[in-house]
Amino acid sequence: MTNCPGCLKAGHHTYCPSCRKRLFDGKKVSPVLAFTRPMYNQARSAVTTERMSISGVQTKMSLRLRDSRLEMTESGGEYFLKPIPHGEFQRLDAAPINEHLTMQIAKQMFGIPVAENALVAFADGEMAYLTRRFDIQADGSRSLQEDFAQVAQRSEETHGRNYKYDFSYEEIGGLIRKHVAAHQVEMEKFLQLVAFNYYVHNGDAHLKNFSLIRNDRYGDYILTPAYDLLNTRLHVPNESRTALPLFKDDFATASFRANAFYAYDDFHEFAGRLGLHPARFGRMMQRLRDNESAVCSLIDRSALSEECKQLYKQHVQDSTRALSYSFDGRL
């Protein structure tokens, strides 16, 4: 490795000082784990094959840091390890690198708060995605956290197998307005995340991939840092562009009725419904449209294969085009 496996900065064979601080409180932790993938598989014997989605096939395991070493643990881990998933989707070998890259694009290019994350390698060389839990306090206690399936009181029992997908981003916005005191700030973060998911072709941002967490200092709820961000189109090429529709009650803009894909007008309407100030929305979209070359250079610094890099760049170009197109001539 010649780039930091945390932030992809050039000239680092291990975690750079700033990544070490954010991920491991400054401890020198090796980017190579002390155990192999087969050892991991043995420890994690119960594998869910029920739901056919990336997040479903991508099993994870808790890790804890002991004497500057990451080790597997059944409880009390501060980290999650997500190795290469098994399943019928394409290019799954690239999934950990894809997730890490996408999280870094969100953070570095768009300033989106994300769960701390990095790549690690098993002792036999296979790559895995590592993320630090944001709900664990310095004293080891856990903050109260609820995903939006819980907030919306939807489960498989009450709403059937498709409960995570049978909803809309507009309705999540309604729940933020209802449950979050500082909802203007959080609503903008939410909109930015929905637009970012569209930008990177994350078609699996369902109800459980957004959560609220209690601020232990003030007792109010805010959005958690973003997690589980990846370009799912690399693995599921024909998946729909978004896991949920933007609008409730099957609403569609004139642009969508004409073109059948979300473009600038859809996000404009969406932002209006969420109550975001037009100028702030304008700046957010500008940033998404203007960052293509910086995003492509970060993609180049990742460990993706040439094929995956080219595809990822094409996907970003596709969405940049879509977000630069207004049916109603607003741009």
User: Residue 199 region, left (φ>0) first, then alpha (ψ -120 to 50), else beta?
Assistant: alpha
Residue type, 26: G
Q: Does 284 bind Zn ion (CB under 5 A)?
A: no
Instruction: Supply 49's token pair.
Output: 């094959």
Q: Does 31 bind Zn ion (CB under 5 A)?
A: no
Q: How far is the CB of 308 from Zn ion (least distance, A)?
A: 22
Q: How far is the CB of 20 from Zn ion (least distance, A)?
A: 8
CA dihedral for 19, 21, 26, 32, sign (positive or negative)? negative
Q: In what order do the strands lie in the sheet with 211-214?
A: 145-147, 211-214, 221-223
From 11-19, 65-73, 157-165, 238-246, span contacting Zn ion (CB under 5 A): 11-19
Among 2, 3, 6, 274, binds Zn ion (CB under 5 A): 6
Q: Does 19 bind Zn ion (CB under 5 A)?
A: yes
Among 3, 7, 13, 111, binds Zn ion (CB under 5 A): 7
Q: How far is the CB of 118 from Zn ion (least distance, A)?
A: 8
From 7-15, 40-48, 148-156, 223-231, span contacting Zn ion (CB under 5 A): 7-15
Q: Does 120 bind Zn ion (CB under 5 A)?
A: no
Residue type, 163: Y
From 2-10, 60-68, 168-176, 207-215, span contacting Zn ion (CB under 5 A): 2-10
The owner of tokens 């409730």 is 248
Q: Does 308 bind Zn ion (CB under 5 A)?
A: no
User: Considering only CA atoms, which of 209, 204, 323 is closest in space to residue 268?
Assistant: 323
**Residue 261 to residue 301: CA distance in whole angstroms:** 30
Q: Does 276 bind Zn ion (CB under 5 A)?
A: no
Which of 10, 138 has the CB closer to Zn ion?
A: 10
Q: Does 130 bind Zn ion (CB under 5 A)?
A: no
**Residue 295, CB-side half-sphere exposure with 13 Å CA sphere:** 26
Which of 244, 304 has the CB closer to Zn ion?
A: 304
**Residue 194 to residue 211: CA distance in whole angstroms:** 13
Q: How far is the CB of 27 from Zn ion (least distance, A)?
A: 14
**Residue 149 to residue 22: CA distance in whole angstroms:** 29
From 5-13, 153-161, 186-194, 306-314, span contacting Zn ion (CB under 5 A): 5-13
Among 16, 106, 120, 212, binds Zn ion (CB under 5 A): 16
User: Considering only CA atoms, which of 208, 209, 213, 238 is closest in space to residue 223?
Assistant: 213
From 6-14, 153-161, 264-272, 305-313, span contacting Zn ion (CB under 5 A): 6-14
Which of 15, 148 has the CB closer to Zn ion?
A: 15
Instruction: Supply 156's token pair.
Output: 């498989």
Cα distances (Å, whole numbers) of residue 115 to 55, 100, 223, 315:
16, 11, 12, 24
Q: How far is the CB of 22 from Zn ion (least distance, A)?
A: 8
Among 1, 4, 151, 200, binds Zn ion (CB under 5 A): 4
From 1-9, 24-32, 177-185, 227-235, span contacting Zn ion (CB under 5 A): 1-9
**Residues paired with 142 in a beta bridge:** 136
Residue 168's CB is within 10 A of a number of other CB atoms, namely 18
SS3 194: helix
**Contact positions vs Zn ion (CB under 5 A):** 4, 6-7, 16, 19
